[in-house]
Structure 1
Amino acid sequence: MQLYQSNQIKIHNSLTGKKEVFKPINEGHVGMYVCGPTVYSNVHLGNVRTFMSFDMIFRYLKHLGYKVRYVRNITDAGHLENDADVGEDKITKKARLEQIEPMEVVQRYTVDFHNILNTLNFLPPSIEPTATGHIIEQIELINKIIDNGFAYEINGSVYFDVHKFNETNDYGKLSKRKLEDLIHNTRALDGQSDKKNPQDFALWKKAEPQHIMRWPSPWGDGFPGWHLECTAMSTKYLGETFDIHGGGMDLKFPHHECEIAQNEAAIGKSPVNYWMHANMLELNGQRMSKTTGNTINPNELLSGNNDKMSKAYSPSVIRFFMAQSSYRSVLDLTDDGLKASEKGYNRLMEAINLLPKLNTSKTSSIKIEDWKQKCYDAMNDDFNSPILIAQLFEATKYINQIKEGKETLTAEDLGLLKDTMNAFVFDVLGLRNEAETSSGTDKLTGAVEVLIKLRQEARANKDFAMSDKIRDELAEVGIQLKDGKDGTTFSVN
């Protein structure tokens, strides 16, 4: 029996504004799509917060025994400045400024994105499709929407007819906006003369002569609209209707609203059963903004090389800090908050390191089974990580009381406590025991330094065969020695 069979999850569905019991379309299987980054710059820390929320959700679903297909895309084309239908492609603009190919920009920042997420101990998604890898699927989707009467082509561009769609459907149901209000609040923008109405959005844009990224289509050379890629890729890999679609709160309108409209216009079905939105990350009580200088990127936070924080913070402390707030709450990143999280994280790790050293008794004075259920209750309630962490701190109190002889546990209950702590701290929250990691690194350094010393002695004795043997055998296991004027150093590949 899998854990999901005895754990009922409730998810806050952005579409209805209510917590709803989670019932996957196919029992034991979950399809989840999360909007990934547009790779034209280093990944934003606010985006990291969103992806971390869904990494935790992915981890918990897997922990419960669900087979999860988690799809998170890479936007490598079609995303214009200010998320509009006019202006310059963000990737093309960066390529032009740096005088490099657009795909060099894509490669550079995709690698940066993966490096940051690996450092922060993210699990990779099941599938990571790219917009440029699915041009054919996007063209096919546009053809369906045109055939169904909800899009029109003009001067080589194709636009979604929002007004026509709204005659039989509810455009705005996710963001709770009415089309009449959108019409009233629309300001006149240059370059929108091709559209029937300002609210219409691009499915395909004609590429002007200077536009580098372009593909052939039935309407001429061009590139897909931003909203289209997620509809094409999510339905390709997860089906016409799937379980969970996630992303940042800022994507609810227009991006996710347009995804729903495209799917209903093309296929006649609402694409998603549960819409989930992670809230914003602020910095020192204010919105993060490059223009005001109120910003910090993940590398700066990890290295301490910034003017916003007093020190560097480790990957697990950053994860722990973010997990202490509900994914649906605005989170304020501050130095004091991170320091407090560092203390809490260290307390938690100290307790976990004490577990193997605890003595057992013939009786238990603590009801571990009840405590364990509270951990599951927290995560089952819309993935409430702050309440889970409160329960983990309750367990640290138990551990210290057992160590001091004030409470007792049987061997069986101690085993249950260990297993539950490890499951929620490491598997679900994705923390690492950094003391163990650094201890392992220190031991490796010490061992290699002993071998370097033996090699130096061999060279001093003119035993060059032994010297070369030590160097070559270390190289075979990925440890490179480098001789310099200040001695021998090493690096691990």
Structure 2
Amino acid sequence: MSQTLSLYNTLSRKKEEFKAINAPFVGMYVCGPTVYSDVHLGNCRTFISFDIIYRYLTYLGYKVRYVRNITDAGHLESDGDVGEDKISKKAKLAEVEPMEIVQKYSVDFHQVMQIFNALPPSIEPTATGHIIEQIEMVKTILATGLAYEVNGTVYFDVEKYNQKENYGALSNRKLEDLLNNTRDLGGQNEKRGPLDFALWIKAKPEHLMQWPSPWGNGFPGWHLECSAMSNKYLGSQFDIHGGGMDLAPTHHTNEIAQNVAACGQQPANYWVHTNMLTVNGQKMSKSLGNSFLPHELFSGNHKLLNKGYSPMVVRFFMLQAHYRSTLDFSNDALDASEKGFKRLMYAISLLEKLKTSVNSDIDVKAIEAKFKSAMNDDFNTPVLIAELFDVARIINSVHDGKMQITENDLADLKTLISTFVENVLGLKNDIQATDDLAPVMDFILKIRTDAKANKDYATSDKIRIGLNEIGFDVKDGKEGSTWSKN
């Protein structure tokens, strides 16, 4: 079993052993949300995945500086250099200031992340708070000859850059293929090459968000923002850069080009990307009408959902797929995750009720090694969860008197489970409490016990089957019968 952390590097297209540049310190930058609308589930999946990576690196003893930005300007509708600013457009429609839109959806984003029990990053810089750094980076790139200014807009010269560096390294595509696939967009006539992208964009008089610069009033290009902020807080070279896989072909490719031009080196040693979401096998998108927001998933108030699911069930569901795998939402899959989550939480609750023995059938060190082996293999949460279910079966066996555990092993097992379930996976039991049902259920189970004692097995079975049909599991053990909500 591997005790060395390895992770998949998009840049090399293979798993690599993780070696921090300046251990025990680790620098990690993740592209954050553009705050012009409610955060969607695809973003949530990405940030939950990096929350796991952050948590596990911390568990391994690294001191992680986790930087995740807020894009509050410069991200245009086309994700390129033309179109309207997403935030400004929303502000015009709502007849409010752009920063009101930014505030509203930043608060919403933070609330959703808190509901999902995602830890806040170490630093959360905003694009508008780093205009000076972005202007300075543009100046540096211009000085290298890899950028040029046209009518107040500064473009990056991709073909000139590609003469010395491989522009398509991250996406594994050749420049010729990229050039053949470019579309004729408005504003392209200003550019020397169709792949050139804007570092700084000249603002029209009516543009709501603009700043003075050496090239006139304008605003930064979306790609530039992340380069400037990662450079400021993590240096010209850091350990991990992450985001959704949709960012790799353009946004992250352009970040690399900017950093190499401005700093002379690749910004990150490891590029980590999360995969996409599907719904019943189809890509999740607003145009198909099959996308839903986190609060709709929690409430069940959506035409594609049969019911709502607790935030921890949704987090658990996401972690049952590897972060590099497609995650498919369906009612059946969510129902299965909910049952699995309840089963795991119930087993963990039994830890406080276990009776200890002089001898032990359980090797806690071996369990820990399996947990670490799973996470050391590219943060493989599905395998870790499978190992946790194996431990749940062990806990149930001890509870039923089929296995033994010593007092010391029980203490170690409690610590291990708490560490990996709560601290690494970030899960907590948010299933609605059933304390008010306890006296009623205990009364019903006593009637069943009396029926069994009187050899009235028909009544005993009728009670057990009836309870199961309305959502309660009944288990018989040496100490009597216990119940749980399934």
Instruction: Give the TM-score normalised by structure 2.
Output: 0.88
Asked whether 1:295 is paired with 2:291, we answer yes
Please name the residue that 2:12 is paired with. Answer: 16
Distance 1:440 1:200, change over 3 A: farther
CA distance in 1, matches of 2:24, 2:278: 37
| Selected match of 1:411 from 383, 392, 407 | 407
The alignment-based identity, stated in percent, is 61
The 2-side partners of 1:189 and 1:245 are apart by 30
Aligned to 2:65: 69
Once the two structures are TM-superposed, the CA of residue 441 in structure 1 deviates from its matched residue by 12
Q: How far apart are 1:181 and its partner, in Å?
A: 0.9
SS of the residue 1:349 aligns to: helix
Q: 2:152 aligns with which of 142, 150, 156?
A: 156
Equivalent of residue 422 in structure 2, options 426, 429, 432? 426
Return the alpha-carbon distance in structure 2 between the equivalents of residues 299 and 425 of structure 1.
Answer: 24
- Name the counterpart of 1:476: none
| CA distance in 2: counterparts of 1:274 and 1:297, whole angstroms | 30
Letter in 2 for 1:377: S
Equivalence for 2:75: 79
Taking the aligned partners of 2:186 and 2:66, their CA distance within structure 1 comes to: 39
Q: Give runs of aligned pairs for residues 217-296 of structure 1, distance below 5 A.
A: 217-296=213-292
Which amino acid in 1 is paired with 2:193? N
Residue type matched to 2:365 in 1?
Answer: E
Match of 1:378 among 370, 374, 382: 374
Unaligned runs of 5+ in 2: 438-486
CA-CA distance at 1:367 after TM superposition: 2.0
| Cα distance in 2 between the residues matched to 1:37 and 1:26 | 28
**Residue 365 of structure 1, aligned match among 347, 361, 368:** 361
Q: Which amino acid aligns with 1:88?
A: E
What TM-score comes out, normalization by structure 1 length?
A: 0.87
Structure 1 residue 147 corresponds to structure 2 residue 148:
no
Q: Report the AA paired with residue 41 of structure 1.
A: S
| Partner residue, 1:189 | 185
- 1:66 to partner: Cα distance: 1.1
Computed over aligned residues only, the root mean square deviation of the Cα atoms, in angstroms, reads: 1.4
Using a 3 Å threshold, how does the CA distance of structure 1 residues 441 and 133 change in structure 2: closer, same or farther? Answer: farther
How much has 1:187 moved relative to structure 2? 2.0
Report what 1:310 is aligned to: 306
Name the SS of the counterpart of 2:168 in structure 1: coil
Query: Does structure 1 residue 124 correspond to structure 2 residue 113?
Result: no
Alpha-carbon distance between aligned partners in 2 of 1:172 and 1:433, rounded to the nearest angstrom = 45
Aligned residue number for residue 356 of structure 1: 352
Structure 1, unpaired ranges of 5+: 1-5, 443-493
- The residue type paired with residue 423 of structure 1 is T
Instruction: Report the counterpart of residue 162 of structure 2 in structure 1.
Output: 166
Shift of 1:31: 0.6
Deviation per CA, 1:403-450: give whole Å up to 9, x if none.
111111111111111111111111111111225x847999xxxxxxxx
Match runs of 1:203-222 below 5 Å = 203-222=199-218
Deviation at 1:63, TM superposition (A): 1.5
Q: Which runs of 4+ in 1 moved over 2 A?
A: 437-442
- State the AA in 2 paired with 1:402: V
176-185 or 222-231, larger mean C-alpha shift? 176-185
Q: Secondary structure at the match of 1:81?
A: coil
- What does 1:333-482 correspond to in 2, within 5 Å? 333-435=329-431, 438=433
| Superposed displacement of residue 59, structure 1 | 0.9
Q: Deviations over 1:205-255 (max 9, x none)?
A: 000111110000000000000000000001110111000001000000100
Residue 137 of structure 1, CA deviation: 0.3
Q: Distance in 1 between matches of 2:62 and 2:418?
A: 19
Structure 1 residues 440, 265: CA separation in 2 closer, same or farther (over 3 Å shift)? Answer: farther
Are 1:180 and 2:171 counterparts?
no
Query: Which letter maps to 1:349?
Result: M
Deviations 1:259-300 (A, max 9, x none): 000000011011100000000011221111112211100011
Alpha-carbon offset, residue 368 of structure 1: 2.1
Aligned AA (1:122)? A
Shift of residue 190, structure 1, vs aligned partner = 1.9
How far apart in 1 are the matches of 2:110 and 2:434?
A: 26
Q: Secondary structure at the match of 2:188?
A: coil
Q: Structure 1 pair 439/67, CA: closer, same or farther in 2 (3 Å)?
A: farther
1:289-318 Cα deviation digits (max 9, x unpaired): 112211100011011111111111001100
